[in-house]
Amino acid sequence: MKDVISQWNNAALKYAEDQEKSVYVESNRKIVKSRFEHFSGENILDLGCGYGFFTDYFKSIGAKTIGIDASEKMIEIARKRFPQSNFSVMDITTPLAFENNQFDIIFSNLVLMDVENIDFIFSECKRILKTGGIFYYSIVHPAFYGGYWLKNQIGYKYGRVMEKYIEPYHFANNFWGETEHFHRSLSYYLNLASKYGFNLKQAWEPISYDSKIKNSDLPVFFFAEYINTK
């Protein structure tokens, strides 16, 4: 995990800057905000909080929140941007410094596909989430991410080709500097959640493309909400 953390330390500033200009980020924020509009003191963990936007958002609508991330640079940016919110540097692939049954909601936005050992993360989420609590995450959609676009004669991107999907693999992204991406099938995520007693409540594959340049019927992201059962 140390190499991955170093990668995100190097990418942190450009990532934070680019996220604020991304139409995809804005569309994802609308999805989260439409699902979580108000809280009354619930304890929320923002798992892999990055530069802290959602940690601060949840606090602003009435939650008690803490954002954790392994990247010191990300947490440094988060503390500067949102000084009123609570952040901590914490490696989410190691035992988390929280008590059993501590949180009402664990939220993780576009993190799990960038971490190698997510089995341990799911087990820790199970431990620190209250019975009946919510585990909510988003990932890039594994059925389409990593493929390449097909174009027609006028440049319209109408389809994507995936050369491999079932078996896990990893590769480097270079959007903000090199960062590792760990591909797993959608069934991998769903079965892992089931293994640890998370019952799927709802899933979303939201529209992200505008249909003018890229086919809007192909999703970019996958969102899932689970209930923690014993």
C-alpha–C-alpha distance, residues 29 and 190, integer Å: 23
| Other Cβ atoms within 10 Å of 177 Cβ, number | 16
77 burial level (CB within 10 Å; 0-12, 13-18, 19+): buried
Angle at 55 between CA 185 and CA 223, to 5 degrees: 25
- Can you give the residue ranges of every domain in the chain? 2-228
The answer to whether 139 and 124 are in contact (CB under 8 A) is no
**pLDDT tens by residue, 94-122:** 999 999 999 999 999 999 999 999 999 99
Q: What is the pLDDT of residue 39?
A: 98
pLDDT above 90 as % of the chain: 93
Q: What is the pLDDT of residue 2?
A: 55
The average pLDDT across 160-166 equals: 95
C-alpha–C-alpha distance, residues 152 and 159, integer Å: 9
pLDDT-derived band of residue 7, with 50, 70 and 90 as boundaries?
very high
Instruction: Output the pTM of the full model.
Output: 0.96
Terminal-residue alpha carbon distance, the chain: 30
Average model confidence (pLDDT) across the chain: 95
**pLDDT tens by residue, 44-102:** 999 999 999 999 999 999 999 999 999 999 999 999 999 999 999 999 999 999 999 99
* Residues 31, 36, 37, 42, Cα dihedral to 10°: -160
C-alpha–C-alpha distance, residues 90 and 77, integer Å: 15
Helix ranges (H only) for 112-229 are: 118-128, 186-195
C-alpha–C-alpha distance, residues 230 and 132, integer Å: 9
**Does CATH number 3.40.50.150 belong to domain 2-228?**
yes
Q: How far is CA 42 from the centre of its chain?
A: 20
The answer to whether 172 and 179 are in contact (CB under 8 A) is yes
C-alpha–C-alpha distance, residues 73 and 215, integer Å: 36
pLDDT-derived band of residue 146, with 50, 70 and 90 as boundaries?
confident
pLDDT-derived band of residue 20, with 50, 70 and 90 as boundaries?
confident
Q: Does 1 have pLDDT greater than 90?
A: no
